[in-house]
Structure 1
């Protein structure tokens, strides 16, 4: 195995670990409002992009590195941010278990089709053993369904101490409303401030689809985590709601599968320049980090501003809040994973690196839930976890051998 392959697989491991770990800092905190949470998270992502840009920038010559901004990176970052913004709506309409399986299956399937058949202008990648490659993908897809069978025991979120409740809470851990003034129609849960089951069942289809202040969920959170789907009393509205949820889940998977296609276009077109050139092009995959992070932040900020206008002029109430420091740390960890993903794609290629960095983080997230948070308990759940994790490993091994 040559140096590029070793370096590429190390990058893939970094991506899998940090993508799967990125939501751990916020695991035991109520996120309250997902739109605000993801904006704080994207601020952390941008900070890593800026730090890498400053460290790697060529200060002596105009170069395609460091703080150089690639339009393709802005587009790729926008794709990811849009997917991230749509996920809470999918969870609200389908539940996290079904949504997780749909968007991850779509993500992996579309990513493989894009690579195999050269869709969207990419050069097709034909493995030397296509049947083994397809079998590896099937193992990865099947593991998603197996993970969805896990029934976790939810960890208790962190709450403020008794002494801090004696005054109006203004810190990140205090409830959005004081406990002695909380409306009977609302309650504080591990997903933040949400409507009670009775109130949610009576909502119309329009109210469900345009639902503000949904809690945050990410693409790699565990499949059976925290959310309980509340079925509407109106059967027709519930069926339409599921159809809309499925469509949005498929869109989430499509956006996730395409978020690095602009990077591949740049990589295919990039040609290293001479050292004496006015613009120094090195084709280093990490040159793309700042642009991708900037695209994510800009899209997230536009969504945040539109959301604030929606609260101000439509809902006619002030913006809710969300935990800041945990969300920011989530973004920092995610951006470190992005650097590993870009590096692995530069060394291994999209066909090898993308499926691994798509299903691997879900496996890491599950292992965090089982080993650290103790949410996956009992022989049944642990057996399912072991089977699904083994399937991911087998699928990965088959993909490696197929090349």
Structure 2
């Protein structure tokens, strides 16, 4: 099965290569690789730093995403701002709220592998069947397409059973700002006090939900582009260039994260867990994610999203798994090779 899927993908890439300018292909491939590396390394800066419940870190990284995107907008000179694209950013920010909990529960590598699989499946299903009002995409070989989807589903289920060794780390700054020392509980965050089995179940479930949200986050952009040729549509004449939608999407990320952080502050009675050491790593994470998004959208312009989406979605999971297993020692050695080969095969989904 894997042999035929790989061959089908190779044929698609070769035919694309033969019909496209070599320079454009090189640009697209370079941008795609950059997106994979940046997405897969987004949470590395904060892996060894105490983040508490992660709400402050999430807001800092989302603010960084918006700032970097605004600077990018000055360079790319994006045309009309479409508020609907902000909805995708809000969906992404909703999934991002759970990231710290996932990383603490099951680790960086395994968490991204699981939400990468669910994100890939959601992206495939919404595009293949035309969910959420976007145009369904026809494929030349439906059998191979469905086999690839099934393979991705199986790989995601296998990841759930992969053992990870996540150690709760203690940093010098264990007491957050704005909270009196006498009021600090024994555990900085509720997930730290949960038993290993329950923590694993919670982490896996949150990773699946987060991946589904990530998979939906680009649907509003696709919807706008699909309706850009309809004279009766409010989006008639909208840009077909994905990069033009980054400012609107990141604005949605920042607005939603600010709303969530405000609600969190209210629940905490104006005493949020603010860790000063999170600020710089959080900004770096946001920078990496935004540059990765620009790289991905640029790759779409040169290679088309049919090629880039499965590669990016599966590729950054592989990069995160490498970080988790080789650097942070989270994934057991006996499973490494099997996981990597199985997950790499799922990038032939389309």
Short-chain TM bin: 0.7 to 0.9
Q: Could you tell me whether the CA contact under 8 Å between 2:57 and 2:282 is conserved in 1?
A: yes
Distance 1:120 1:292 in 2: 17
Q: Could you tell me whether the CA contact under 8 Å between 1:286 and 1:343 is conserved in 2?
A: yes
Q: CA deviation at 1:342?
A: 2.1
1:295-323 Cα offsets, whole Å, 9 max, x none, are 101110111111111212xxxx6221131
How do residues 23-34 of structure 1 correspond to structure 2 at under 5 angstroms?
A: 23-34=43-54
1:360 aligns to 2:315 (yes or no):
yes
Unaligned runs of 5+ in 2: 1-16, 230-235
Q: Could you tell me whether the CA contact under 8 Å between 1:73 and 1:292 is conserved in 2?
A: yes
Unaligned runs of 5+ in 1: 58-64, 161-173, 188-192, 202-227, 232-241, 272-278
- What secondary structure sits across from 2:97 in the alignment? helix
1:319 aligns to 2:272 (yes or no):
yes
Distance 1:155 1:252 in 2: 22
Superposed CA RMSD in Å reads: 3.6
- What secondary structure sits across from 2:189 in the alignment? strand
Distance 1:101 1:367, change over 3 A: closer
Q: CA deviation at 1:124?
A: 1.7
- What secondary structure sits across from 1:125 in the alignment? coil
Partner of 1:267: 225
How do residues 36-47 of structure 1 correspond to structure 2 at under 5 angstroms?
A: 36-47=56-67
Q: CA deviation at 1:38?
A: 0.3
How do residues 326-337 of structure 1 correspond to structure 2 at under 5 angstroms?
A: 326-337=281-292
Distance 2:66 2:119 in 1: 24
Choose from 197, 206, 215 the match for 1:257.
215
- What secondary structure sits across from 1:151 in the alignment? coil
Give the TM-score of the pair, scaled to structure 1.
0.67
Give the TM-score of the pair, scaled to structure 2.
0.76
Partner of 1:375: 329
Which structure: larger Rg? 1
Distance 2:329 2:102 in 1: 23
Partner of 2:249: 292
Choose from 22, 32, 53 the match for 1:12.
32
Partner of 2:139: 127
Distance 1:343 1:383 in 2: 37
- The structure carrying a bigger helix percent of its residues is 2
Partner of 1:391: 342
Distance 1:295 1:200, change over 3 A: same
1:138 aligns to 2:150 (yes or no):
yes
Q: How many residues in Structure 1 have an aligned counterpart in Structure 2?
A: 316
1:149-205 Cα offsets, whole Å, 9 max, x none, are 143364956x44xxxxxxxxxxxxx22169xx6779504xxxxx13597x758xxxx
Q: Could you tell me whether the CA contact under 8 Å between 2:116 and 2:211 is conserved in 1?
A: yes
1:88-113 Cα offsets, whole Å, 9 max, x none, are 67789x86699767644432222211
Partner of 2:189: 194
Q: Could you tell me whether the CA contact under 8 Å between 2:224 and 2:238 is conserved in 1?
A: no
Distance 1:78 1:388, change over 3 A: same
Q: CA deviation at 1:386?
A: 1.5
Q: CA deviation at 1:366?
A: 1.2
Q: Could you tell me whether the CA contact under 8 Å between 1:135 and 1:395 is conserved in 2?
A: no
